[in-house]
Structure 1
């Protein structure tokens, strides 16, 4: 496992511009998370400019949380540019199993070849055709239950798959790690999972030659910040404020020293 410290240092030195085509609920949270962590966000989703903007972004996030035909067109335009320029992009398939429209859109986007797929266990399991216990955007399955599906998807699609939850799992089909940290308060603050996908994009935009380690580093920073914030928070409201502060406060040495990694 590579040293995580230089990965965070490089991300902050680069301050990568991440084009976030994300949902209404997550826009503000995602922007603040990226800024606190050391990256630069841009919320550009209109079909008329999304493709052009992807040409200057270091990474792209595609999140289907509040999907519409117009936003789907913008996603496809941005993805086309990202693929043409070999710009890394992240798919966050929010509750893609909930409706036929959402499911069809998520599978169409998946077929376009994301660099990284980041979802909860229910979202990842549903891509295998398995019946998940998810309820809307909330996972009803354990991360462990989705690990085999994640490995199969990573191998079949040639991408990194991150399954996030109480203990995260990341695989590229060959390398596999579990990541601890975080807090039970995190699912009680809206859009923190969506924002994590944006941070994964930031790391991937900086560490362009290793999307697996970029994903691992992003999840480790998130986990450390979550644990630190929870130790001082009185509840979800104060946790959200402290979490942003904690993200900003994590140093490269902290990342290397405090990351809870299990290499499989």
Structure 2
């Protein structure tokens, strides 16, 4: 997997304008929609159980995000996910805060048990808790703990039969056999709420146009990280508000050439 072929996926997303169906949380809905639009995808936020199955069936990808968890949305996620599976639409799952409460952890484990996932994306603590591995967590954003992140990612990929994406200082993508590290990004991303949730939806846009889900995820993470670096270079001294606006601008402006120039990936043995 080389940077040139990875960078081409960015152009394919913009040419294809894929429809990404998001069942996401109330904190990030606007930011997610604007981020997908800036990238060149078409977001739809449909939550009603009466329509989610139909909407998911025509989408390029379905993103399930349990950030602000309610029973009605869990029901909608299950209906949408099963419809997506039936219609060969890739499903991405963001288990926000798995491990923080017993209810949240129960849901985070129930969804992959009922739905075939193309991608699971979270921090190390979230993904570890989905597969019932002990990892310390405090709040929904905690990613620190004791353990080997690559091993957790590989275990999740094997147990859930999916591509596991664990994000942090370094990002890990694996299907259990191929494992790639991505070393792009900027720490200011952690000062803007919703950047992780948007990332999962951006991966959804890439998965919608590239059926090698490892390649799609690596391309999305590299694109996202380079975009953050370019936006931060212009705004980091001003603060997170300026960065957020510039990040949306840069999602529209980062090119495949930028990916080739600044992307940093490493394939592990």
TM-score (structure 2 length as normaliser): 0.94
Give CA-to-partner distance per residue, 1:205-252, whole Å, 9 cap, x none.
111x21111111110111001111111111111110111111111112
Q: CA deviation at 1:130?
A: 3.0
Q: Which structure 2 residues correspond to residues 69-218 of structure 1 after superposition, within 5 A? A: 69-111=71-113, 112-141=115-144, 145-207=148-210, 209-218=211-220
Q: CA deviation at 1:140?
A: 3.7
- 2:57·2:87 contact (CA, 8 Å) conserved in 1? yes
Distance (Å, rounded) in 2 between the aligned partners of 1:89 and 1:199: 13
Q: Which ranges in structure 1 are unaligned for 5 or more consecutive residues?
A: none
Equivalent residue number for residue 243 of structure 1: 247
Give CA-to-partner distance per residue, 1:65-99, whole Å, 9 cap, x none.
11111111111111011000111110000002112
1:51 aligns with 2:53: yes
Equivalent residue number for residue 256 of structure 2: 252
SS at match of 1:47: coil
Equivalent residue number for residue 15 of structure 1: 17
- 1:155·1:172 contact (CA, 8 Å) conserved in 2? yes
SS at match of 1:102: helix
1:261 aligns with 2:265: yes
Give CA-to-partner distance per residue, 1:19-41, whole Å, 9 cap, x none.
00000001011111111111110
Q: CA deviation at 1:142?
A: 6.2
Given candidates 215, 226, 229, the residue that maps to 2:228 is: 226
- 2:21·2:44 contact (CA, 8 Å) conserved in 1? yes
Pairwise CA RMSD of aligned residues?
A: 1.4
SS at match of 1:223: helix
SS at match of 1:97: coil
- 1:143·1:166 contact (CA, 8 Å) conserved in 2? no
Q: Which ranges in structure 2 are unaligned for 5 or more consecutive residues?
A: none
Distance (Å, rounded) in 2 between the aligned partners of 1:255 and 1:141: 28
Number of aligned residue pairs = 263
Distance (Å, rounded) in 1 between the aligned partners of 2:79 and 2:243: 37
- 1:150·1:163 contact (CA, 8 Å) conserved in 2? yes
